[in-house]
Structure 1
Amino acid sequence: MSTGDSSPLRLAVTGAAGRMGREVLDAAVDREDVVVVLAVNRSETEPIAGVAIDPAAEFADRLGDADPDAVVDFTGPASTLEYADACAEADVALVTGTTGFSEDGLATLRETASSVPLLKAANFSRGIAALRRAVREAVTALPGYDIEVTETHHNGKRDAPSGTAHTILEDIEDVRSDLSPADRVHGREGDAPRESAEIGVHARRAGDIIGEHEVLLADNHETVELTHRSGDRGVFAAGALDAAVWLAGRDAGWYTFDDVIDES
């Protein structure tokens, strides 16, 4: 893995023709601190943002030739684990925004982090990072308040609730000792009065909505609503590239986007 403070990050991108892969390539060509040396996709694809796209099946072999400092991955759980294994073999840092992993998949990913620096985040928006901190503070300041979490995404999103919503729920449960994943209630139907110790969780899918997350707290004749709306996927691409630049050259280990935010 070749790194240097004065030279641009040598970047590889997986899932290059996907929604986020395209955004990452578009964002990378506009940055002076990043140069794309490898991009792969599972189906044959014309160049994107002037970058030639190689077959995903050749990823492991091409890593040695391209010599990237870091890989940015937005694909699917199975693909990400394959790419992570290749990164471990080639000693290349990995940044992934893939969500929807099983517990076994996450365990495998964490095992990879014992060999190379690996940064996983459900969301690379600095606004979401700020929202999560505000949610933790609000939940701490309003003990016992009812909490509802709602997320809305485009009609093609597979996992529900979103990875970001899961992260927000974990934040809430970390600061509310009376709540746990077992207390999550996903939607309501029929005779379903609200219990005092529960978190309502709602996932909506419609149109081309990029991403919206809302946390509602209510009690004591008052409500607090904390909301984040994404207007462009470029926000996530920029954050992922910031993470890659930050991660390259670090010690092997498990990192989060909060680490990037805290240091910058």
Structure 2
Amino acid sequence: MSGEPLSIAVTGAGGRMGREVISAAADRERVAVAVAVNRTPTDPVAGVAVEDANRLDELLAAAEPDALVDFTGPDSAVTYAETCADAGVPVVTGTTGFADAQLGDLRAASESIPVLKASNFARGVAALRRAVREAAAALPGYDVELTETHHNAKRDAPSGTAKSILDDVESVRDDLDRRVHGREGDAPREETEIGVHARRAGDVTGEHEVLFAGNRESIELTHRAGDRGVFAEGALDAADWLADREPGWYGFGDVLDAGDAPE
């Protein structure tokens, strides 16, 4: 929305990421939270009143925000996207753990409105994924292992970001088509496998490490997020970019390719 103030709606406003998004918006002069909703009663966040999520349709109709930012759960995210489709409000979602049918519902919403779905809104993760694709293509035959670490309350494992990275590897390595989640007992490595390891501990925001090993050498590509604010900032960048788009299905890479920088 180049140069114009951005008005957003935020779902899951009482959750970790919802609060981060509202706080990040408060730090930007040209971003205002017009609607904030949560499924359970929640105190105001950064001075923004949080309304009942069941009223989202009427709140969107009254406020007419430029985009909605969602970090909730798969069922909720689909419901919110369908509500936004009816209201003509673009959707940015960082929710992960969707089943195939739920992804189909999101894509159906994108026929009416622009929908941007990303497993991770850190610009560094986008750079990591591009580096992983390049390394995987340049290192045929090398073993690949992926390890991800998150806080002890994260529900889905492996993380959505990890799954995206695995997709990246497999897109350029036809010989790797089997994901092995952890190992136990007599478990020799097979040539077609990618090792996947999910760790949950403490309050770790998010770490992803990809190991390539072969030919008497190894390469490790790693991203670590210092706090959740980096994801909130990226989601706001995505919302700003998405607000003027045509209906369709978008990813965070589209925002980066456009060269839009945070303000």
TM range (shorter): over 0.9
Verify the 8 A CA contact 2:181 2:196 in the aligned structure 1: yes
Please state how far the C-alpha of 1:32 moved relative to its aligned partner.
1.9
Q: What residue in structure 1 maps to residue 240 of structure 2?
A: 245
Which among 129, 137, 141 is matched to residue 132 of structure 1?
A: 129
Counterpart CA distance in 2 for 1:245 and 1:133 is 23
| One-letter amino acid matched to 2:96 | T
2:153 corresponds to: 156
* Paired residues, number: 259
What is the aligned partner in structure 2 of residue 202 from structure 1?
197
Residue 55 (structure 2) pairs with residue 55 (structure 1): no
Aligned-partner Cα distance in 2 for 1:198–1:30? 45
Change (3 A) 1:5 1:195: closer
Q: Which of 164, 170, 173 is equivalent to 2:170?
A: 173
Residues of 2 paired with 1:16 and 1:203: CA distance? 27
CA contact 2:94–2:121 (8 Å) conserved in 1: yes
Q: Structure 2 CA distance, aligned partners of 1:179 and 1:113?
A: 32
Structure 1 unaligned regions, length at least 5: none
Q: What is the CA deviation profile of residues 7-54 of structure 1, one whole-angstrom value per residue up to 9, with x for unaligned ones?
A: 311100000010100000000011122111000011111110010000
Matches within 5 A, 1:177-196: 177-180=174-177, 183-196=178-191
1:143 maps to 2:160: no
SS of equivalent residue, structure 2 residue 249: strand
Alignment of 1:101-140 (within 5 A): 101-140=98-137
Q: How far did 1:66 drift?
A: 1.1
Name the Cα RMSD after superposition.
Answer: 0.8
The reply on whether 1:92 has 2:89 as its aligned counterpart is: yes
2:112 aligned with 1:80, yes or no?
Answer: no
> What residue identity is the alignment partner of 2:126?
A
Structure 2: distance between partners of 1:8 and 1:140: 42
Aligned partner of 1:36 among 9, 19, 33: 33
- The CA deviation at 1:197 is 1.1
What amino acid sits opposite 1:34 in the alignment? V
Corresponding residue SS for 1:57: helix
Say if 2:112 and 2:247, in contact at 8 Å, map to a contact too.
Answer: yes
* Equivalent in the alignment of 2:210: 215
Q: What are the superposed Cα offsets for residues 124-178 of structure 1, whole Å, 9 maximum, x if unpaired?
A: 0000000001101111110010000010000000000000000000000000011
Once the 2 structures are TM-superposed, how far is the Cα of residue 5 of structure 1 from its aligned partner? 4.4
- Is residue 2:81 matched to residue 1:46? no
Amino acid at match of 2:47: G
Q: Which of the numbers 54, 62, 66 marks the counterpart of 2:63?
A: 66
For residue 20 of structure 2, what is the aligned residue in structure 1?
Answer: 23
Identity %: 66
Give the letter aligned to residue 10 of structure 2. V
Deviation at 1:229, TM superposition (A): 0.5
TM-score of the aligned structures, taking structure 2 as reference length: 0.97
Residue 60 of structure 1 aligns to a residue whose secondary structure is helix
Structure 2 counterpart of 1:93, one-letter code: P
* Secondary structure of the structure 1 residue equivalent to 2:184: coil
Q: Give SS of 2:83's match.
A: helix
TM-score scaled to structure 1, two decimals? 0.97
Distance 1:222 1:38 in 2: 52
The unaligned stretches of length 5 or more in structure 2 are: none
